[in-house]
């Protein structure tokens, strides 16, 4: 993910279709739009539009008990190897295969695009027991939205879910650690501290930070990310299948309690 200057924020976001604005106070009566907290469509991308339409049908057919909302890290659960670092489906089936789970991860999505999907059918006419939310990593990419903006985007997502799915419990995951730049590392830590504080005692919302499973002491465990294995290699961002299996194992005690079923794994 290339990190651009602050000046490119609006230019980068202009590639999307702005579906609505979220004006917030900024100074003496002025307003500004925090794009991270505004629904932004990606329907101009044929693959994204096709996936959105397919997921609407899957949701209607499945009537899920469990949904996962996120970006490429969530979407990766649908991948199957070889190689073994890409064999995600094995853990998905083990932990979620009998739980009527639907994967609503979309590669490249920011908080803004997830918010658009929530407002445009992806939680309509369903009543899942739990929604797992993992979002925010792409806010640090070409749109270059910082921690403050990203937290506002995540808050908007949680608020929208609580309004549209009032009986659904939400498992909010912290933004996963990566090794893209010192700025990204700092912003990630700032977001997770804010989320831990903001959602300490919010009804129906449980916050869980999975950062520790990806660390060796104070250093990122690069072996749990597949990006360095690509050709050409990239900075660690996406967990391997083994890394995501560890995520599921760590989430499981919390998730099974929220679902009220037996522990899996």
157-173 pLDDT, tens digit per residue, is: 999 999 999 999 999 99
pTM listed for this prediction: 0.89
Q: What is the CATH number of the domain that holds 134?
A: 3.40.50.1110
Residues of the chain with pLDDT under 70: 1-31
Instruction: Round to whole Å and give the CA distance between 192 and 177.
Output: 10
Q: Report the pLDDT value the prediction gives residue 16, as an integer from 0 to 100.
A: 38
Q: In this structure, is residue 200 part of a structural domain?
A: yes
Q: In this structure, is residue 90 part of a structural domain?
A: yes
Q: In this structure, is residue 1 part of a structural domain?
A: no
Q: Which structural domain, as residue segments, surrounds residue 231?
A: 6-259
Number of domains the chain is built from:
1
Contact 45, 89 (CB under 8 A): no
Q: In this structure, is residue 30 part of a structural domain?
A: yes
125-156 pLDDT, tens digit per residue, is: 999 999 999 999 999 999 999 999 999 999 99
Q: In this structure, is residue 102 part of a structural domain?
A: yes
Q: Report the pLDDT value the prediction gives residue 265, as an integer from 0 to 100.
A: 87
Instruction: Round to whole Å and give the CA distance between 22 and 132.
Output: 24
């Amino acid at each position: 993910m290339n990190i651009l200057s602050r000046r490119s924020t609006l230019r980068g976001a202009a590639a999307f279709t702005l579906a609505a604005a979220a004006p917030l106070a900024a100074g003496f009566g002025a307003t500004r739009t925090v794009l991270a907290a505004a629904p932004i469509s990606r329907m101009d991308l044929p693959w994204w539009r096709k996936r959105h339409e397919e997921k609407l049908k899957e949701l209607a057919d499945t009537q899920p008990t469990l949904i996962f909302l996120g970006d490429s890290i969530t979407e990766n659960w649908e991948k199957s190897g070889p190689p073994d670092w890409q064999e995600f489906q094995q853990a998905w089936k083990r932990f979620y295969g009998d739980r009527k789970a639907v994967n609503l991860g979309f590669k490249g999505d920011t908080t803004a695009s997830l918010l658009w999907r929530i407002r445009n059918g992806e939680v309509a006419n369903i009543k899942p027991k739990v929604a797992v939310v993992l979002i925010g990593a792409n806010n640090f990419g070409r749109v270059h939205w910082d921690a403050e903006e990203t937290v506002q985007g995540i808050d908007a997502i949680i608020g929208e879910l609580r309004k549209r799915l009032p009986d659904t419990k939400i498992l909010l995951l912290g933004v996963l650690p990566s090794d893209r730049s010192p700025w990204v590392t700092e912003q990630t830590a700032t977001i997770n501290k804010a989320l831990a504080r903001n959602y300490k005692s919010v009804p129906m919302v449980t916050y869980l930070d999975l950062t520790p499973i990806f660390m060796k002491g104070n250093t990122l465990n690069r072996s749990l990310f597949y990006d360095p294995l690509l050709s050409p290699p990239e900075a660690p961002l996406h967990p391997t299948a083994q890394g995501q299996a560890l995520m599921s194992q760590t989430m499981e005690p919390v998730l099974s309690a929220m679902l009220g079923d037996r522990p899996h794994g």
